[in-house]
Amino acid sequence: MIDLAPLAWAALGLAAVTIGISKTALPGGSILAIALFATVLPARTSTAAMLLLLIVGDVFALITYRRHAHWPTLLRLAPAVLAGLLAGFAFLALAGDGIVRRAIGVILLAMIAVTLWRRWRQNRADATAPTPGSLVLSGVYGTLGGFTTMVANAGGPVMSMYFLATRTPVQVFLGTSAWFFAVINLVKIPFLAGLGLFEGQVLLMDAVLAPLVVIGALAGIRLAKRMDQVLFDRIVIVLTIAGAVYLLF
């Protein structure tokens, strides 16, 4: 077991619950978990450890929203996402832990900027979305989503932006996202395993944290329609900015 202080375990426990909630109630909320994991653990280790917990959350997302996926969208994104995954893998293989740590911080700040810009666009009544399903749009977002999810498991905000840009209905958004990340996270396993990141200590730690992901996912299903999402999102944004800035120094 990785030797961590009680406060560090508390942070990882909070991150695990957040992963579960984000998968079933608050898409993009896992960005807080990314910051917490990368703050407590070495950057490359945090990416591997969090991936396995995300897969646990993916199971509940699929159970809840699997029937609403739009498969043509997934197929259109696939080539660009694969290119992004390969670029992210090369970055992880070549970059040192300190560079990866700072890269995660930069990615998190960029994702926060994307999220805030997206909401600003939503609040403008005269905002006009790009043409749904264009190859350029899917290429840009797919590549960036593949890279960020490989390096920092931070593809959620990127893909949320894509689904918003293509005016995807809510249920289709949730179902397509569930399948997208379930498939992508499984594809990432052999890449990270090839880098030797799934050590015994990581697997044991994830075994301890996995029940908290389940608790978060079940709570998310029950609270999806009751939770004050505006307040939650503001807390996530503030804490994530703090975590990202911490990782940069």
Residue 137 or residue 13, greater confidence: 13
pLDDT value, residue 244: 78
Tens digits of residue pLDDT in 84-120: 999 999 999 898 888 888 888 888 788 788 778 877 7
Residue 95 half-sphere exposure, CB side, CA atoms within 13 Å? Answer: 17
Per DSSP, the chain holds a count of helices (H) and strands (E) of 10, 0
Q: For the CA atoms of the chain, what is the radius of gyration?
A: 17
**Average pLDDT, stretch 219-242?**
76
Residue 163 or residue 215, greater confidence: 215
> What proportion of the chain, given as a percentage, has pLDDT over 70?
93
Residue 163 or residue 230, greater confidence: 163
Least confident of 25-29, 63-67, 103-107, 191-195: 25-29
- 240 near 101, Cβ under 8 Å? no
Q: Does 229 have pLDDT greater than 70? A: no
Tens digits of residue pLDDT in 132-157: 557 888 898 899 889 989 988 888 87
Q: Does 125 have pLDDT greater than 70? A: no
Can you tell me the distance from the alpha carbon of 5 to that of 142, in angstroms, rounded to the nearest whole number? 38
pLDDT value, residue 146: 93
CA–centroid distance for 7 within its chain: 23
Can you tell me the distance from the alpha carbon of 46 to that of 66, in angstroms, rounded to the nearest whole number? 28
Can you tell me the distance from the alpha carbon of 100 to that of 162, in angstroms, rounded to the nearest whole number? 25
Tens digits of residue pLDDT in 199-227: 999 999 999 999 999 999 999 888 877 76
Mean pLDDT of the chain: 86
pLDDT value, residue 26: 78
